[in-house]
Amino acid sequence: MTQLIAGVETGGTKIVAAVARVDDPGRIIDEIEIPTTAPEEVGARLRAFLERHEGITHAGIAAFGPVDIDPNSPGFGSVTATPKPGWAGAPLADLVGGRPHTIVSDVTGAALGEHALGASSGILDSAYITIGTGVGVGALIGGRPFSDTAHPELGHIAMRRHPDDDFAGVCPFHGGDCVEGLAAGPAIAKRWGRPTRELGDLLERAVETEAHYLGQLIATVTYAYRPQRIVIGGGAMKIPGLLDAVREASVREIRGALGAEHPSNHPDTYLVPPGLGDRAGVIGALHLAAARAA
């Protein structure tokens, strides 16, 4: 019997699961998309999908978070804090019917996917940053998550304020004192009083302000994990001109502190958009499963 693996990405609105052969995790055999309703309902549908395939030996789960992946913690294997009804504390193992599994954060899953088949393919140490409803960071060292027991929470790092920005911020913990509170999608929409896709005449100021903060985030991720490439995605990065502005801001921020040879001096290749779009998470989950099953 062919040995199979499963990849599951749980998101705030939908859950995607896919099955592949352990020796060919890039080729998806079967796939399902399930709306993120209550975990019991999602679990029943997901288990029914997995049961259609005999021989699944391991599942990779890229979960929206924060998620507790520390085996020594009482909350191991569950989402720790989420406004999503029913999901806080729900055991993710139930989603895969108790099959052997490995859990990473959704952003770590995306980092693994981009490393396997996307924009950071062939790059030893890489990071994935998403700027969406929140700010998330995944970091790979040698192609593996930098830790097996925790994921980065860099959405909460402090920021040097833009001189013209007195926005109060939206982080439930930090208000306007962290990058998520100042620069995630909801912060952009609230500061400018418009959805991020309709900034219109405010676009230039919005891009400059946003790049001021994201440049600091890129610098911190660079200093912390020393990646050779950073992939940056998420809904907010679709704002026209923002990627280039963040590239410039990251160079201004680092200011050569890592030497003239450092890849961050070349932001067009250092800071890149995703190659796999919103497919990175499930592809990363499949590759994670293949690596851990083997």
Give the binding site for a second copy (CB under 8 A).
66, 72-75, 80-81, 124-125, 141-142, 146-161, 173-174, 177-178, 216, 219-220, 222-226, 253-259, 261
Contact 17, 50 (CB under 8 A): yes
Least distance CB 154 / a second copy (angstroms): 5
Rounded Cα–Cα distance for residues 105 and 221 (Å): 17
Please say whether the beta carbons of 102 and 58 come within 8 A. Answer: yes
Nearer to a second copy, 47 or 144 (CB): 144
Nearer to a second copy, 45 or 156 (CB): 156
Q: Toward a second copy, which CB reaches closer, 13 or 72?
A: 72
CA of residue 204 relative to chain centroid, distance: 27
Least distance from C-beta 289 to a second copy, angstroms?
22
Whether the Cβ atoms of residue 281 and residue 64 lie closer than 8 Å to each other: no
DSSP 211-241: HHHHHHHHHHHHHHH--SEEEEESGGGGSTT
> Cβ 229 to a second copy, closest distance in Å?
13
Query: Minimal distance in Å, beta carbon 268 to a second copy?
Result: 21
Residue number, 44 or 224, with CB nearest to a second copy: 224
- Residue 166: Cβ within 10 Å count: 9
CB of 45 to a second copy, least distance (A): 29
Q: What single-letter DSSP state applies at residue 91?
A: B
- The residue (of 7 and 176) whose beta carbon lies closer to a second copy is 176
